[in-house]
Amino acid sequence: MRIFWIKSFFLISFACILTRLFYWQVVRADYLQAQAEGQHFTDTTVGALRGNIQFSDGAILASINPSFTVFGQPKLISNDKRVEIGYMLAKVLSEEEEKVDILAKDFINKISQDLYWVPLKKGISPGKKKEIESLNLEGIGFEGGNSRFYPEGSSSAHLLGFVGFDSKGGNKGYFGVEGFYDGELKGVSGLLRHEKDALGLPIMIGNFLTSNPRNGEDLVLNVDRSVQFIVEQSIRNNLEKYGAKAASAVVMDPKTGAIIALAAYPNYDPHKYSNFPKEFYKNPIVADQYEPGSTFKVLVMAAALNEDLIKPDTKCDICSGPISIGGFSIRTWNNKYYPDTTLKDVIIHSDNTGMVFVGQKLGIDKLYSYLENFGFGQPTDIDLQDEFSPDLRPKKDWREIDLTTASFGQGIAVTPIQMVRAVSAVANGGNLMEPQVVRQIKDEKNTFEIKPKIIRQVIKGSTAQMVKEMMVAAVEQGEARIFRPKGFKIAGKTGTAQIPVAGHYDSNKTIASFVGFAPADDPKFVILVRFDQPTSSIYGSETAAPTFFEIAKQLFNYYKIAPTE
């Protein structure tokens, strides 16, 4: 009997050991394996560095800046020290003296939570980190990272966009180039795994496993920083001078479609984007629709000339007074009429009745087809994230009055980038180009060059030449002639479009614009300047045109272009 009990005891003991071993080796195998590996191995994610964005001359427009996230470990902070720690941190990290209290309360609230780890502030500089480290605060630590650095401050904000956070807290580009090329810029993170000893230090003869990070690619823009600077200064100063609600300008190389400068105000600081209203993030050059007004006349004229329906010296036989169409009376902007005026003079005087004549010669079908060929109603495919294109009204819905108003640029919506691209086609001899902001994409080994892209030929070279001459005459003899720099051959056209408000046009609220190119015989740049609701004068000839000439004058110096006359 005694032997039976001893046998039973051993049997049960073995059964228990076996069960426990089964539990550890089979049931909990994965968990314990992971724990063991966690004790033996250290995994470090090696973050990829976001690519730089450079001007055409290689100067930095956006790069990375070492920064840190300061975090708290509430379980390691004693209750009586939380308030003190919160205030000490806030004094170092607050940007304004008045906001120390608010920030301190936020920190105290965060480090009082029932959590092991809580982020307190992201993007702090190495200098601030050192300052906090010198305070020797318990339960406060740092995690390394990178933020964006903009040596030119808020310059080119609408071109760049900004870097924010995705749903997992990682960096993500929004708007502009940052948004469009986010995939190329962000790179791929790597992993470093090595065996560690009891002190957490790597064992040199242990196992090492390295997957190297692939840093983001650098972007070289077509944007010339000097031209960008000139345009930004001019736009900012004149926005104030003319009391406009907003102002924007874009400079394009008509031969390649390269965007040389792009500026819009009001703008924002991409480094502190969250301090600005969200409406400011939108790039008005590519995302704002407006009625182009008289600047559109050159395109309608180009269409009719290209179809050989008219010639520059064709006389308008309906231009002696207001024209009635569909119950509407079409007048000229200054109520002056020129009987039997030539079509060249129609452009010089920006004569609406003359354009009605041209529109009628062209007809809805042909005008519509040219609108499509000039790229209206579809995105230009510019490499900026937030491009928007207003739709063209379906052709079947067009009535005579629509044809009439479209002929002088009202009742049709375009974006500034569509408009500058269409006028570039006139400047370069008839080719519609794809606008391009980025010229090169570079990684550590290779450089990918983005070649200029011709979309299609819209008008004949001879037509482009005729329109060009009309635009030169408009500059030399039109309303804005007093502002033009003497001796230079500049082609251009003013535009003053009323803004539709609740179904009617408000005559005091206008979009004043000027589009043109120079030197007219061999254009180096096309510029569109636009003021939204200027108050000192509602006319493009008194606001946008002087700004255009001011920019053009500086560009002649910069490009070393001498006067020809």
Partner 1 sequence: MTYIHKLDQQESKKKFPRKYVVLTVMGLFILTIIEIWASNTVSAYGEKYEKLAVLERNLKMENQILENEIAKNSSLTDIASKSAELGFSISQSIQYIR
Catalytic residues: 294
Q: Is the dihedral angle over the CA atoms 361, 364, 369, 372 positive or is it negative?
A: positive
**Is 79 one of the binding residues for partner 1 (CB under 8 A)?**
no
Q: Which is nearer to partner 1, 222 or 306 (CB)?
A: 222
φ, ψ for residue 194, nearest 5 deg: -145, 155
Q: How far is CA 4 from CA 9, 15, 18, 38, 262, in A?
A: 9, 16, 21, 46, 96
Minimum distance between the CB of residue 557 and partner 1, rounded to whole angstroms?
7
Options 56, 147, 155, 415; binder of partner 1; rule CB under 8 A: 155
Q: Which stretch binds partner 1 (CB under 8 A): 25-33, 195-203, 406-414, 499-507?
A: 195-203
- Please, which residue, 152 or 476, has the CB nearer to partner 1? 152
Nearer to partner 1, 84 or 521 (CB): 521
Binding residue (CB under 8 A) for partner 1 from 197, 240, 506, 521 = 197
Q: HEC states along 46-98?
A: ECCCCCCEECCCCCEEEEEEEEEEEEECHHHCCHHHHHHHHHHHHHHHCCCHH
- Interface with partner 1 by CB under 8 A: which range of 17-25, 202-210, 447-455, 490-498? 202-210
407 binds partner 1 (CB under 8 A): no
Candidates 91-99, 148-156, 474-482, 500-508: pick the segment binding partner 1 (CB under 8 A): 148-156
Report if residue 465 touches partner 1, rule: CB under 8 A: no
229 binds partner 1 (CB under 8 A): yes
Burial class for 436, CB neighbours closer than 10 Å (0-12, 13-18, 19+): buried
Residue span binding partner 1 (CB under 8 A) among the ranges 162-170, 200-208, 297-305, 420-428: 200-208
Q: Which of 69, 73, 226, 537 binds partner 1 (CB under 8 A)?
A: 226
Nearer to partner 1, 259 or 419 (CB): 259
How big is the site for partner 1, counted in residues (CB under 8 A)? 28
Q: Which helix (H) or strand (E) holds 462?
A: helix 461-477
On the question of a cis peptide bond just before residue 266, with omega within 30 degrees of 0, the verdict is yes
Q: How far is the CB of 379 from partner 1 (least distance, A)?
A: 31
- We find the least distance from the C-beta atom of residue 233 to partner 1, in angstroms, to be 8
Among 352, 424, 496, 554, binds partner 1 (CB under 8 A): 554
Q: Tell whether residue 379 is a contact of partner 1 (CB under 8 A).
A: no
CB nearer partner 1, residue 232 or residue 288 = 232
Alpha helices in 388-460 (DSSP H): 400-407, 416-427
Q: Do 272 and 169 contact (CB within 8 A), yes or no?
A: no
The verdict on 41 binding partner 1 (CB under 8 A) reads no
Contact 412, 368 (CB under 8 A): no
Write out the H or E segment, with its range, that includes residue 172.
Answer: strand 171-174
Rounded to an integer, what distance in angstroms lies between the CA atom of residue 488 and that of residue 518? 8
Paired residues of 442 in beta bridges: 218, 447
From 126, 183, 243, 461, residue interacting with partner 1 (rule: CB under 8 A): 126
How many CB atoms sit inside 10 A of residue 195's CB? 16
Can residue 36 be called a binding residue for partner 1 (CB under 8 A)? no
Per rule CB under 8 A, is residue 405 in the interface with partner 1? no
Q: Give dist(CA 74, CA 86) in Å, integer.
A: 12
**What gap in Å lies between CA 183 and CA 89, rounded to an integer?**
36
Q: Given phi > 0 = left and psi -120 to 50 = alpha, else beta, which region is 90?
A: alpha
Stretch that binds partner 1, among 107-115, 193-201, 423-431, 467-475 (CB under 8 A): 193-201
CB of 475 to partner 1, least distance (A): 20
Residue 163: how many other CB atoms lie within 10 Å: 23
Q: How far apart are CA 71 and CA 18, in angstroms?
A: 46
- Angstrom distance (rounded) from CA 426 to CA 410: 21
Give me the least distance between CB of 37 and partner 1, in Å please: 18
- CA-closest candidate to residue 454, choices 473, 431, 435: 431
Fill in the per-residue mask, 55 to 74: x = in contact with partner 1 (CB under 8 A), - = not in contact. ----xx--xxxx--------
Residues in the chain: 565
Which residue's CB is nearer to partner 1, number 110 or number 148? Answer: 148
E strand or H helix at 29, and its extent? helix 29-40
Q: Binding of partner 1 at residue 243 (CB under 8 A)? A: no
326 binds partner 1 (CB under 8 A): no
Q: Using CB under 8 A, which of 38, 153, 170, 379 touches partner 1?
A: 153
Q: Which of 32, 203, 209, 454 binds partner 1 (CB under 8 A)?
A: 203
Amino acid at 216: G
Under the binding rule (CB under 8 A), the answer on residue 202 touching partner 1 is yes
Q: Are 223 and 437 in contact (CB under 8 A)?
A: yes
Near partner 1 by CB under 8 A, which window of 3-11, 115-123, 143-151, 169-177? 143-151
Q: Does 209 bind partner 1 (CB under 8 A)?
A: no
Question: Please, are residues 312 and 342 in contact by the beta-carbon 8 Å criterion?
Answer: yes
The residues binding partner 1 (CB under 8 A) are 59-60, 63-66, 126, 144, 149, 151-153, 155, 196-197, 199, 201-205, 225-226, 229, 554, 557, 562-563
